[in-house]
Structure 1
Amino acid sequence: MGDPAPTELEFADEVAAFFEQEGMPLIAGRVIGWLLVCDPPEQTPAQLAEALQVSRSSISSAVRLLTPSGLVRRTRRPGRRDQYLSIPPDGWSRMLAARYAKTAAFRRVAERGLAALPDSPPERRERLANVHRLYLFLEDELPALWRRWEQAADTPEGTGAKGFDAAASGAGDRT
């Protein structure tokens, strides 16, 4: 017999623990976790604070961190002063797209670093050269991966693994 299913709040805490290991504040991870499973899917800051048993100022700080990437969306309803927070259907994709769009920018930073070390011994340049090679690789490969994701997301199966597997079968196709 498997582990018992977590409660919604336990799930939010598990998401928070995952993202905390990635350097994100715990409350931001809890907001992500809660917004992934809450009903209704749009929550006011007051609803989030109550559900997560934290202060509204903690929610506000987390939302300021999560909205620039597009992962969390703020909306207002006509005639209402409250803002509503949600993870839009394409929120994860937008967040990753924004992150991947910075690949070329950091590759250029690494190139400037290598240019600053023109006469340095190879062992001194190695760490930075490895980063530069990685970002060159990512810059080349991510567009094709992203196209396959978009194809998979548009399949009738939805955005699940089956749709991705079907689209990925053309993985060697680079148009």
Structure 2
Amino acid sequence: MDDEVIEWIERVAGFLTQEYGLPPIAGRVLGRLMACDPPEQSAAQLAAAVGASRASLTTNLRLLLDAGLVGKRLGRGERTAYYRVDDDAWQRVIRRRIAALGSFRDITKAGIELLERDGGRAARVRSADAAFAWLAEAFADAGEPK
């Protein structure tokens, strides 16, 4: 990969570390898988590309697999696993996160009912509920990504 792509991968890693608390290696692996050709890479290829030990790579791949950002494939009759970012991975992850945020609204509604007698505490929960309601409405109106 050329220097500009490597720099972009580092930007991906920095963003994911700062905004989501992912380890830098996980961010580098994800950035690499978003930009590499061929789109599937073995653990050995990824470890060499991002400068990670095999143990660190395994831990970070597990994190990305569990998050749904990276998929794993074993070829028929092969012992080597190949990893990739599916074209719809981001859409699936974002939908799952939005659904989780929406389900927190059930908790805020229950909190409002529970805390109605105490205006101060109920007001803070109402504020959270309003934020989640706004978010749900914004995404309901957004439609499909293009």
State whether residues 110 and 131 of structure 1, in contact with CA within 8 Å, keep that contact through their aligned partners in structure 2: yes
Deviation (angstroms), 1:118: 2.3
For 1:1-175, what aligned pairs fall within 5 Å after superposition?
6-22=3-19, 23-122=21-120, 124-145=121-142, 147-149=143-145, 152=146
TM-score normalised to structure 1 length = 0.74
Deviation (angstroms), 1:38: 1.3
**Structure 2 CA distance for aligned equivalents of residues 129 and 15 of structure 1:** 35
**Structure 2 CA distance for aligned equivalents of residues 31 and 106 of structure 1:** 31
**Structure 1 CA distance for aligned equivalents of residues 5 and 144 of structure 2:** 32
State whether residues 111 and 122 of structure 2, in contact with CA within 8 Å, keep that contact through their aligned partners in structure 1: no
State whether residues 17 and 26 of structure 1, in contact with CA within 8 Å, keep that contact through their aligned partners in structure 2: yes
**Deviation sequence 1:42-95 (CA, Å, 0-9, x none):** 111111111101111211111221123322111111111111111111111111
**Equivalent residues, number:** 144
The residue matched to 1:7 in structure 2 has which SS?
helix
Higher RCO (CA-CA < 8 Å; seq separation 6+): 2
State whether residues 69 and 94 of structure 1, in contact with CA within 8 Å, keep that contact through their aligned partners in structure 2: no
Deviation (angstroms), 1:6: 4.5
Deviates more, 1:14-23 or 1:111-120: 111-120
Gap regions ≥5 residues in structure 1: 153-175
Higher helix share: 2
**Structure 2 CA distance for aligned equivalents of residues 81 and 115 of structure 1:** 55
Q: Letter of the 1:49 partner, please give it.
A: A
**Structure 1 CA distance for aligned equivalents of residues 124 and 80 of structure 2:** 49
Q: Letter of the 1:101 partner, please give it.
A: A
State whether residues 47 and 54 of structure 2, in contact with CA within 8 Å, keep that contact through their aligned partners in structure 1: yes
State whether residues 69 and 98 of structure 1, in contact with CA within 8 Å, keep that contact through their aligned partners in structure 2: no
Gap regions ≥5 residues in structure 2: none
The percentage of counterpart residues that share the same residue type is 35
Change (3 A) 1:6 1:127: farther
What's the Cα RMSD here? 1.8
**Structure 2 CA distance for aligned equivalents of residues 72 and 78 of structure 1:** 20
**Structure 1 CA distance for aligned equivalents of residues 23 and 55 of structure 2:** 14
**Structure 1 CA distance for aligned equivalents of residues 123 and 54 of structure 2:** 47
